[in-house]
Amino acid sequence: MPVPADAAGAVFIRRQDTEVHLDDKGQLLYNGYRIKILHPNALQLGNLSLAWNPAAGSPVVHAIKIHREGQVIDLLKTASFEILRREDQLEAARLDGNLTAVLRVPDLRVGDEIEFGATLPASDPTLGKDDAGLLLLAADPAPGRYHLRLSWEEKNKPAIKMTNDMMTVAEEGPNAIDYRFDNPGVLAPPKDAPPRYQWQRVVEYSSFSDWQGISRLFAPLFANASSLNANSSLKQEAARIAAAHAKPLDRAAAALKMVQQDVRYIYVGLNGGNLTPAGADETWQRRYGDCKAKTALLLALLRELGVEAEPVLVNNSGTDDGMDQRLPSPRMFDHVLVRARIDGKIYWLDGTMPAVVPPTQEPVISYQWVLPLTRQGGGLERLGWTPASRPNEITLFEIDARAGFDKPARITNTTIKRGIEGLQQEVQFSVATPTQLLSAFRQNAIGNTWQTIEDVQWRYDAKAQASILTVVGTGAVDWDDDGDGVKSLALPGGGFNPPEKRIRAKEQDQALPFYNKPDFSCHVTTVRLPSTTRAEQWSHKDDINNRMFGRAYYRAFDIYDGSLRMIRGSRTEQTEVDAPKAQRDNGRIAAFDNSMAWITYNPSGKNTDAQARSRVPTTTEIDWTGDNVPCLASGPDR
């Protein structure tokens, strides 16, 4: 494409070709381009690199050229790539075996055009000629000309599915489909729509006719990997577990803990192992493995223990919304775990989790779609979603101000975290000594809320599946002096920001639902009131019990037994809110109570509600790790 006289930005794409070709060996990926460099920041295009899995074959470089003022400099004649095995994700315990070829183009200048073309084998040895993938164009590409192409040998034609924006430009031939764009515009996804609506300018292709075919392909791999040798030491381990535990659930929990605790996690994608699991005996002998290896090992143990179980493919990245609308593809999954049936109930077992995670009736990560692997071929299954029954995070804040307004208060701050954040804390804090924890918090926290930190306690409650961190110290209370002896304080964690309006640009689909990320948080604050004051001298802001845009908002106060108590909860009630309800709630935002949680002392006050029996517990009055903490109020929308 000719470079326009007014070309702006970092680069102009004279052409960019992305092509996928399918044959009896799998798929080949060609990428070629010729790019005009308009800005010094774009000179990094001269740092060429190719990464590939050697188990799939070797790349072929077709062209490396510089076009400069009518002159063509062919670098391919003298180019010498440096071949690296970088393992650039070692810190994440990943060994993928990929090789990288690196070339730094010399003497590249602003105004030059760099031309490059290469073909890479993109097949996975486990999949062979059966595979699936995507062709896509970014939502905000640089100006220029783009060409996408999917081609195939006659007997290798895949199933193809396109988004509407690709259908309008598709050029279909007997063995290929082409998509051409000149200066494609910005294509913003529908604002606040569920993730499945973010798919734009995408072409899917798949050799699989259904999800059951993927299930049938992988099931034998895990069956073989979980088969034990006749003299396997894992048989003795299973016998030991069986002797120590009578109940099937206890046996499954012991087997899971052994896999979690005694086999360290390392992703192994060497020699075609991206999708093929290592054998259970091999994994136990070397005492490391990835999710595939740990799942195979766990399946072997459970089989020896007489527990019915199967491997299940899942997506840990949170991008499985709308998976049922996608073409069948094993590349839609990035994790595998075990689903077991014990005493008539379903349990999920993940060997890659820390050893504090037992078999659970719901996965630790919330999956929308899963694929069980069975010899008969399991279909894609949807896991139902319901609002969380327990907060994923609770913050308990106690301010002991009994010494008086002008004295430092004793502060106790406890956070209770569940789910992935709680497990991240478990991994981080379980290796620290109490002295190290105390020192770290004194180093990093003193100077804000805290004047002193006297103690830091942490534990992981396996029964509650919660990380519990408590910090105790002293701090100044920021009382506002309102005159005439009146003082006020905004309690931490007590206010709500008003929700944003749910509206979209007029060119976007107005009928699509709006998305809410699942969440449930709770803040509990207790102020031990100065001993020189009386309950009737204290007042507080209004309680809140509201539901808007599929989210519950709750706040309640009480004054009782020398303390002023507040609880504030917020929970996602609906992950998707339809457009009519969103429009209705847009009109309710003006009335939303976004007041901070002010409490006020008035020496001449006469608060008649102050003697009411408390309905709000203090931070220490109940077990906040329990199942029925009062972080929300029931009731209709208001």
Q: What is the largest CA-CA distance in the chain?
A: 92
Question: Alpha-carbon dihedral of residues 580, 389, 570, 550, nearest 10 degrees?
Answer: 0
**What was the pLDDT predicted at 86?**
55
**What was the pLDDT predicted at 255?**
98
The pLDDT-based confidence of 126 (bands split at 50, 70, 90) is confident
CB 397 within 8 A of CB 525: yes
The pLDDT-based confidence of 125 (bands split at 50, 70, 90) is confident
* Higher pLDDT, residue 609 or 497: 497
Backbone angles phi, psi at 302, to 5 degrees: -65, -35
Averaged pLDDT, 577-590: 96
What are the residue ranges of helices labelled H in 524-635?
A: 579-586
- Regarding whether 333 and 244 lie in a shared domain, the answer is yes
The pLDDT-based confidence of 57 (bands split at 50, 70, 90) is confident
How many structural domains are present in the chain? Answer: 3
CB 533 within 8 A of CB 601: yes
Q: Is it the case that residue 408 has pLDDT exceeding 70?
A: yes
- Regarding whether 215 and 201 lie in a shared domain, the answer is no
Tokens of 544: 């809140």
Length of the chain: 638
Q: Is it the case that residue 634 has pLDDT exceeding 80?
A: no
Q: Is it the case that residue 124 has pLDDT exceeding 90?
A: no
- Regarding whether 188 and 142 lie in a shared domain, the answer is yes
The pLDDT-based confidence of 100 (bands split at 50, 70, 90) is confident
User: Which residues, at least 6 apart from 444, have a Cβ–Cβ distance to it below 8 Å?
Assistant: none
Q: What is the CATH number of the domain that holds 481?
A: 2.60.120
471: in domain:
no
Question: Alpha-carbon dihedral of residues 53, 56, 62, 65, nearest 10 degrees?
Answer: -10
- Regarding whether 234 and 199 lie in a shared domain, the answer is no
**What was the pLDDT predicted at 458?**
97
* Higher pLDDT, residue 212 or 84: 212
| DSSP sequence for 225-286 | HTPPPTT-HHHHHHHHHHHH--SHHHHHHHHHHHHHHHSEE-EE-GGGTTTSPPPHHHHHHH
Angle among Cα 42, 46, 52 to the nearest 5 degrees reads: 120
Amino acid at 120: L
- Regarding whether 172 and 88 lie in a shared domain, the answer is yes
Backbone angles phi, psi at 26, to 5 degrees: 130, -130
Q: Is it the case that residue 268 has pLDDT exceeding 80?
A: no
**What was the pLDDT predicted at 610?**
54
| DSSP sequence for 175-187 | SEEEEEEESPPP-
632: in domain:
no
- Regarding whether 520 and 494 lie in a shared domain, the answer is yes
The pLDDT-based confidence of 127 (bands split at 50, 70, 90) is confident
- Regarding whether 76 and 183 lie in a shared domain, the answer is yes
Tens of pLDDT along 476-494? 999 999 999 999 999 999 9
What are the residue ranges of helices labelled H in 180-227?
A: 211-225
Residue 31: helix, strand or coil by DSSP? strand
**What was the pLDDT predicted at 97?**
67
Give the lowest-confidence range in 324-333, 487-496, 599-608: 599-608
Q: Is it the case that residue 633 has pLDDT exceeding 50?
A: yes
CB 570 within 8 A of CB 519: yes
CB 357 within 8 A of CB 350: yes
Q: What is the CATH number of the domain that holds 353?
A: 3.10.620.30
4: in domain:
no
**What was the pLDDT predicted at 90?**
46
- Regarding whether 582 and 516 lie in a shared domain, the answer is yes
- Regarding whether 233 and 192 lie in a shared domain, the answer is no
CB 177 within 8 A of CB 150: yes
The pLDDT-based confidence of 305 (bands split at 50, 70, 90) is very high
Q: Is it the case that residue 341 has pLDDT exceeding 70?
A: yes
In whole angstroms, what is the distance from residue 536 CA to residue 522 CA? 27
**What was the pLDDT predicted at 91?**
44
CB 12 within 8 A of CB 38: yes
Which residues share a beta bridge with 633? none
**What was the pLDDT predicted at 85?**
65
In whole angstroms, what is the distance from residue 489 CA to residue 482 CA? 10
464: in domain:
no
Averaged pLDDT, 604-614: 66
Q: Is it the case that residue 205 has pLDDT exceeding 90?
A: yes
**What was the pLDDT predicted at 54?**
81
In whole angstroms, what is the distance from residue 374 CA to residue 497 CA? 48
Helix (H) or strand (E) holding 298, with range, is: helix 291-304
Averaged pLDDT, 196-224: 96
The pLDDT-based confidence of 620 (bands split at 50, 70, 90) is very high
The pLDDT-based confidence of 467 (bands split at 50, 70, 90) is very high
Closest CA to 283 of 269, 302, 264: 264
In whole angstroms, what is the distance from residue 115 CA to residue 112 CA? 10
Backbone angles phi, psi at 439, to 5 degrees: -65, -40
Q: Is it the case that residue 35 has pLDDT exceeding 90?
A: yes
In whole angstroms, what is the distance from residue 540 CA to residue 555 CA? 11
CB 312 within 8 A of CB 339: yes
In whole angstroms, what is the distance from residue 61 CA to residue 120 CA? 9
Beta strand pairing call for 335-342 and 288-289: unpaired
The pLDDT-based confidence of 51 (bands split at 50, 70, 90) is confident
In whole angstroms, what is the distance from residue 456 CA to residue 441 CA? 8
Count Cβ atoms within 10 A of the Cβ of residue 453 and give its class: 0-12 exposed, 13-18 middle, 19 or more buried: buried
Number of alpha helices (DSSP H) and beta strands (DSSP E) in the chain: 9, 37
Boundary residue ending a domain (206, 221, 237):
206
Averaged confidence pLDDT in the chain: 92
**What was the pLDDT predicted at 636?**
45
Tokens of 302: 């459970």
41: in domain:
yes
Which residues share a beta bridge with 311? 338
In whole angstroms, what is the distance from residue 538 CA to residue 564 CA? 8
Tens of pLDDT along 559-568? 999 999 999 9
The pLDDT-based confidence of 629 (bands split at 50, 70, 90) is very high
Q: Is it the case that residue 435 has pLDDT exceeding 70?
A: yes
Averaged pLDDT, 257-264: 96
- The DSSP symbol for 446 reads B
Averaged pLDDT, 578-603: 95
Amino acid at 604: S
Tens of pLDDT along 510-544? 999 999 999 999 999 999 999 999 999 999 999 99
The pLDDT-based confidence of 243 (bands split at 50, 70, 90) is very high
Backbone angles phi, psi at 311, to 5 degrees: -80, 150
- The DSSP symbol for 360 reads B
Tens of pLDDT along 140-194? 999 999 999 999 998 999 999 999 999 999 999 999 999 999 999 999 899 999 9
CB 364 within 8 A of CB 205: no
CB 536 within 8 A of CB 606: yes
C-alpha dist (Å) from residue 3 to 20, 35, 36, 143? 27, 10, 8, 10
Averaged pLDDT, 331-349: 96
CB 113 within 8 A of CB 66: yes
Boundary residue ending a domain (188, 206, 224):
206
- Regarding whether 299 and 404 lie in a shared domain, the answer is no
User: Which residues, at least 6 apart from 332, have a Cβ–Cβ distance to it below 8 Å?
Assistant: 315, 320, 323, 326
- Regarding whether 180 and 68 lie in a shared domain, the answer is yes
247: in domain:
yes
In whole angstroms, what is the distance from residue 270 CA to residue 228 CA? 22
CB 275 within 8 A of CB 326: no
Q: Is it the case that residue 599 has pLDDT exceeding 90?
A: yes
Q: What is the CATH number of the domain that holds 94?
A: 2.60.40.3140
CB 20 within 8 A of CB 151: yes
429: in domain:
no
- Regarding whether 272 and 183 lie in a shared domain, the answer is no
Angle among Cα 626, 627, 630 to the nearest 5 degrees reads: 90
Q: In which domain, by residue range, is 234 found?
A: 211-382
| Percent residues over pLDDT 70 in the chain | 95
Amino acid at 531: S
Boundary residue ending a domain (206, 230, 255):
206
Amino acid at 200: Q
Give the lowest-confidence range in 83-92, 346-355, 373-382: 83-92
Contacts 24+ apart (CB under 8 A), 444-451: 445/471, 446/473, 449/411, 449/413, 449/475, 450/411, 450/474, 450/475, 451/408, 451/475, 451/476
367: in domain:
yes
